[in-house]
A and B are shown apart, each in its own frame.
Chain A
């Protein structure tokens, strides 16, 4: 019986101490880890859609509450004006969610670029939505006033042949980002302005 109690107490103490220690360490490293993930996972795609911006969009970011979710918005400065924002979204593809970064020009409500961050599509087929830049570049300059759709559904985007599901996933993700943008535009514009003063 004594053995049982000492065993119980020892494991309890060990777990409590290590739990507390790890909690503290996690809190201490959280911000750095978030930045590292930005830099290596989403960073290349974000910098890709904001090519030519004169600031560091990964540093110039802010968060916006959207219902229960929190969305991160990255700001790109072009010609001295903070006029482009990047919103993250995702759409359902063939192998799972396709992660996207969608850049929108806040002056004329046009898409400035679409980049793919993470995907689990078939290599050489659906994965071409990421590797073939001609697909993503179709979105550039499209106005968000009308909904973004594939050509087969009455829109302007050519699906990649043989990869209709993946193409549709990207288009759906862009549509989600477009909705978010329209819904949150006043806040986005305001926060972008206050960011620029920094």
Chain B
């Protein structure tokens, strides 16, 4: 039975949420979740690129030659990533400074190429848009949750605002790279327990 557009949208939020279910896009998931602002910014940037590239690739799926499709996808994705980079430099410069190298690295984020190859190249525009939006929002929410855990317990703040009492001793391990792996592992574990049938 073909899925409806709405189902294509919601699958990205739970059943196939990128970092936890598909285990894709781990580089930004680990690197950009030291603070909620970074995680949210990364999520929004990826969502924008994902929606745009999904739409364009879906529109052009009949034109793109089968042998050269990956090259074409990368060109499309890279174009939108540079658009995001320029817009961030122009309008949210402090966030751009913090995210630095991880913005250009969105190009090689597996979620984008994965959705282009597995979905947008085989479906029409509306399901592709819904798929991109759902996956993007799922990715953003995942990043924000992971970042919230790391920032609240690792630094005592949420979106740079102190939420823990002053007497709270921050568990600084969580904001380091190994802490990211541990947090991600625990999240995967929780997701698997919740999703067990």
Stretch at the interface among A29-37, A108-116, A158-166: A29-37
Residues in B neighbouring A25, C-beta threshold 8 A: 82-83, 86
- Verify B90–A33 contact, CB threshold 8 A: yes
Residues in B neighbouring A26, C-beta threshold 8 A: 86
- Verify A18–B75 contact, CB threshold 8 A: yes
Question: What is the CA–CA distance of A19 and B67 in the complex, to the nearest angstrom?
Answer: 22
Question: What is the CA–CA distance of A67 and B141 in the complex, to the nearest angstrom?
Answer: 53
Interface size class of B (residues with CB under 8 A): 20 to 34
Residues in A neighbouring B91, C-beta threshold 8 A: 32, 36
Tell me the nearest residue of chain A to B76, going by C-beta. Answer: A14
Residues in A neighbouring B76, C-beta threshold 8 A: 14, 18
Tell me the nearest residue of chain A to B86, going by C-beta. Answer: A29
A22-B82, A22-B83, A25-B83 in contact; A37/B72 too (CB < 8 A)?
no
Q: Mark A1-34, 1 if CB is under 8 A from B, else 0.
A: 0010011001100110010011001100100110
- Verify A18–B78 contact, CB threshold 8 A: yes
Q: Does A183 contact B (CB under 8 A)?
A: no
Residues in B neighbouring A33, C-beta threshold 8 A: 86, 89-90, 93
Q: Does B2 contact A (CB under 8 A)?
A: no
A15-B75, A22-B83 in contact; A29/B67 too (CB < 8 A)?
no
CB contact between A10 and one of B68, B87, B89, B93 (< 8 Å): that residue: B68
Question: What is the CA–CA distance of A142 and B141 in the complex, to the nearest angstrom?
Answer: 56
- Verify B94–A40 contact, CB threshold 8 A: yes
CB contact between B65 and one of A7, A22, A29, A32 (< 8 Å): that residue: A7
Tell me the nearest residue of chain B to A2, going by C-beta. Answer: B65
Question: What is the CA–CA distance of A11 and B74 in the complex, to the nearest angstrom?
Answer: 10
- Verify B63–A10 contact, CB threshold 8 A: yes
- Verify A29–B90 contact, CB threshold 8 A: yes
Q: Does A39 contact B (CB under 8 A)?
A: yes
Give min CB distance, B36 to chain A, whole Å. 21
- Verify A39–B65 contact, CB threshold 8 A: no
- Verify A14–B75 contact, CB threshold 8 A: yes
Tell me the nearest residue of chain A to B97, going by C-beta. Answer: A40
Tell me the nearest residue of chain A to B75, going by C-beta. Answer: A14
Tell me the nearest residue of chain A to B80, going by C-beta. Answer: A18
- Verify A11–B93 contact, CB threshold 8 A: no
User: Which residues of A pack against B, CB within 8 Å?
Assistant: 3, 6-7, 10-11, 14-15, 18, 21-22, 25-26, 29, 32-33, 36-37, 39-40
User: Which residues of B pack against A, CB within 8 Å?
Assistant: 63-65, 67-68, 71-72, 75-76, 78-79, 82-83, 86-87, 89-91, 93-94, 97
- Listed A/B pairs (12) with beta-carbon separation below 8 Å: A7-B67, A10-B63, A10-B68, A11-B68, A18-B76, A21-B79, A22-B86, A33-B90, A36-B91, A39-B93, A40-B94, A40-B97
